């Protein structure tokens, strides 16, 4: 796979006067380059970042286990997850009628926050700005995992506040690019999540977030659902079950809501598509769908206070098909791995996983990423003109 590349940072900006709302420093945009059926393309993570170092992340040879042993940033905030249920719309509650953008913004405004994360590493320190959504009245906030990746300090600014307040990272799931934060506040207005079954291609949507970390309130853009169940590559492997939209999503929008005409969240904005030359495609953005996000929220609550979720490991090297067909080509099988024990061979083409079609390499990476050690997965493969079904039991990635 094409390596993931982080562009060098711009010069540090000159000091700015103190304002009622902090002026976040504009900064670096991350470009994630991926190989996608027939050409090179990638996803631009929508977080506004100002780093004081250069780095390059290289894609793993085998599918990624994105767990880490990093501790959450220290804080006086209560680090216990909420026992409140996430608010969801009634089943089958379709979003009907014309889109009233003003009403949607009024409804979601109190639930959208700015997230500012400070990180330190051996290469230096940096800050990133993203967006978050309040999901419980007692202070739980949902955002993208990459917004708080490596953060040593996290703060949150509400729409009606002047000063930011500290937040603690309860848990992260980099594979699904979601993180759960907590602030020491009560009486907040949680957002409402839509019924996943009501989302259709062509639905009108509104994206809300702190694009480019501009001063003042959030940026609001309008569009439609362009496609469902998209899969794109990212630095932790791949994201699947995505909603594609032509509503403009920019750096700083990460973690913000994509909303239907009733002001309900149908997705969490995460990335925009880019070419291999780093040029963002027009009107091609992606959001993590509510159907993917809701179970991850519960998993994050369960793992709160611990390390990032450990993903299943199969032990294969992958290549995209170059003959125009669908599926993922097995290029390498690790010795004594679940793949070898299941009977996978170099040259096999995986065309389905647990009954779900595998259209390309990122979709297969995402299918493995969604599993945990101990889970089994049924793989339908093409081998020498025959179609076989093999079952693998995943393990935790071996050390060393």
Residue of 51, 82, 128, 146 with catalytic role? 146
Residue of 177, 308, 348, 370 with catalytic role? 177
| CA 326 vs CA 59, 218, 239, 319, 365: distances in Å | 22, 40, 18, 12, 14
| Dist CA 346 CA 316 (whole Å) | 9
Three-state DSSP state, 295: helix
Residue of 64, 111, 254, 289 with catalytic role? 254
152: CB partners within 8 A, 6+ apart: 73, 118, 119, 120
Helical H segments across 215-337, by residue range:
290-303
Known catalytic residue at 76: no
Contact yes or no for 232/255 (Cβ under 8 A): no
Known catalytic residue at 177: yes
| Dist CA 290 CA 172 (whole Å) | 17
Contact yes or no for 115/143 (Cβ under 8 A): yes
Known catalytic residue at 146: yes
Counting Cβ atoms within 10 Å, is residue 52 exposed (0-12), middle (13-18) or buried (19+)? middle
Which pairs from 91-97 meet CB under 8 Å and 24+ separation? 91/195, 91/197, 92/195, 92/197, 92/198, 93/194, 93/195, 93/198, 93/262, 94/198, 95/194, 95/198, 95/203, 95/260, 95/261, 95/262, 95/264, 96/261, 97/261
Phi, psi of 340 (to 5 degrees): -65, -40
Phi, psi of 376 (to 5 degrees): -105, 155
| CA 82 vs CA 139, 256, 297, 327, 359: distances in Å | 8, 20, 11, 41, 38
Q: What kind and span of H or E run contains 213?
A: none
Active site members:
146, 177, 254
């Amino acid at each position: 796979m094409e390596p993931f590349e982080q562009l060098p940072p711009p010069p540090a900006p000159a000091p700015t006067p103190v304002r009622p709302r902090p002026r976040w420093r504009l900064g670096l945009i991350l470009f994630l380059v991926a190989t996608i059926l027939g050409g090179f393309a990638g996803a631009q993570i929508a977080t506004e970042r100002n780093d004081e170092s250069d780095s390059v992340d290289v894609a793993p040879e085998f599918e990624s286990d994105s767990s880490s042993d990093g501790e959450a940033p220290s804080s006086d905030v209560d680090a216990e997850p909420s026992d409140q249920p996430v608010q969801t719309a009634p089943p089958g509650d379709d979003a009907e009628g014309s889109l009233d953008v003003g009403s949607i913004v009024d409804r979601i405004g109190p639930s959208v926050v700015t997230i500012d994360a400070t990180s330190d590493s051996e290469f230096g320190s940096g800050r990133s700005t993203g967006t978050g959504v309040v999901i419980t009245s007692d202070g739980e906030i949902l955002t993208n995992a990459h917004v708080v990746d490596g953060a040593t300090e996290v703060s949150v600014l509400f729409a009606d506040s002047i000063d930011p307040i500290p937040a603690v990272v309860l848990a992260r799931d980099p594979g699904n690019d979601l993180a759960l934060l907590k602030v020491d506040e009560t009486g907040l207005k949680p957002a409402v999540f839509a019924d996943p079954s009501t989302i259709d291609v062509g639905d009108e949507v509104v994206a809300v977030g702190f694009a480019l970390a501009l001063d003042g309130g959030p940026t609001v853009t309008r569009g439609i659902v362009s496609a469902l169940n998209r899969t794109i590559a990212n630095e932790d492997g791949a994201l699947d079950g995505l909603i594609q939209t032509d509503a403009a999503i920019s750096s700083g929008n990460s973690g913000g809501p994509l909303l239907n005409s009733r002001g309900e969240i149908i997705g969490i904005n995460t990335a925009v598509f880019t070419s291999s030359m780093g040029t963002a495609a027009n009107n091609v953005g992606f959001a993590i769908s509510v159907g993917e996000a809701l179970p991850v929220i519960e998993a994050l609550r369960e793992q709160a206070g611990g390390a990032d979720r450990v993903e299943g490991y199969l032990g294969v090297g992958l290549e995209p098909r170059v003959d125009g067909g669908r599926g993922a080509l097995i290029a390498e099988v690790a010795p004594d791995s679940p793949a070898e024990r299941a009977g996978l061979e170099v040259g096999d083409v995986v065309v389905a996983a647990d009954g779900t079609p595998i259209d390309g390499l990122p979709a297969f990476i995402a299918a493995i990423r969604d599993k945990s050690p101990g889970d089994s997965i049924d793989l339908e493969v093409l081998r020498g003109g025959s179609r076989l079904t093999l079952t693998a039991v995943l393990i935790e990635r071996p050390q060393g």
